[in-house]
Copies of this chain bind each other. A is one copy, B any other.
Amino acid sequence: MKADLDNFCVILHEPRYPENIGAAARCCHNMGVPQLIVVRPYRLDMEKMLKMATHEAADLIETMLLFDDLEEALGPFQHVAGTTARIGRQRLPTHTPRDIAEKLIDLGPKNRIALLFGSEKCGLTNSQLRLCQSLVNIPTTAFSSINLAQSVMILCYELFIAKGYEEKVQPKLATTRELEGMYKHLKKTFMAIELTNPQNPEYWVDNTRRLLGRQELRSRETKIIRGFCQQILRAIENKKHFKQ
């Protein structure tokens, strides 16, 4: 059974733009994080939040918790992972999103976990980072700053991947029997159209193997290619009859 993210929560501290709150809610919904908490938002504009959340994540906006105090908001959480753009000067070692996701997924089943994001303007201050058990930095090009909702997406996406998810349908590939049947049919066709030098009858087939072998040919595709060969062979056969 796959883990889920039921114990996870995204917390935005003093977000400035209601659009970012809405966009963060949509990220949470996309990746299965069930709760959003907002601490001292600069402005709460329901219309702007809901527009960015889209109808899919409207319930995350409606059930969003509001706090006036960060420490109170963090109260029930056993682990708080804070995001920071600055590296190395903090008390704690800084993780990559991928590392922290693995760690948090391990903690997840028994602990409530908060992903904490600072304001768009200055991020989390040192006194806010002190409330964190771990720090995360999203790698970027030098001196580059990531949009708040984009940071939320990257963290939630890494959690979604780390927890594992049901693999989507994969196409049914051709069997060896189907592939070899197709290559025989191709060889016969190459001979019929006199593409093949009788001195080296495998030359064109080998070239074709190299070309088609790089694809993951599906069962259905070998049939299409064989159908094509058959029509060529038939057309040549008819021409012969016509000549006689």
Interface residues of A (CB under 8 A from B): 23, 26-27, 29-32, 52, 54, 56, 87-88, 93-94, 98, 137-141, 144-147, 149-150, 153-154, 157, 160-161, 165, 168-171, 216
Contacts and interface: CB of A to CB of B under 8 A. Distances in A.
A160 B137 CA distance: 14
Contact of A137 (B31, B52, B94, B168): B168
A156 to B, nearest CB: 10
Contacts of A26: 146-147, 150
A56 B150 contact: no
Nearest to A96: B161
Nearest to A22: B147
Contact of A29 (B87, B138, B144): B144
Tell me whether chain A's interface is mostly helix, strand or loop, or mixed. loop
Given A150-B27, A154-B154, A169-B88, A160 B145 contact: no
A139 B165 contact: yes
A27 B151 CA distance: 11
A185 to B, nearest CB: 21
A144 B28 CA distance: 11
Contact of A31 (B32, B56, B140, B171): B140
A31 B88 contact: no
Contact of A139 (B23, B141, B160, B171): B160
14 contacts: A27-B150, A30-B140, A30-B141, A30-B145, A54-B145, A88-B168, A88-B170, A88-B171, A139-B160, A139-B168, A141-B160, A149-B150, A153-B154, A154-B154
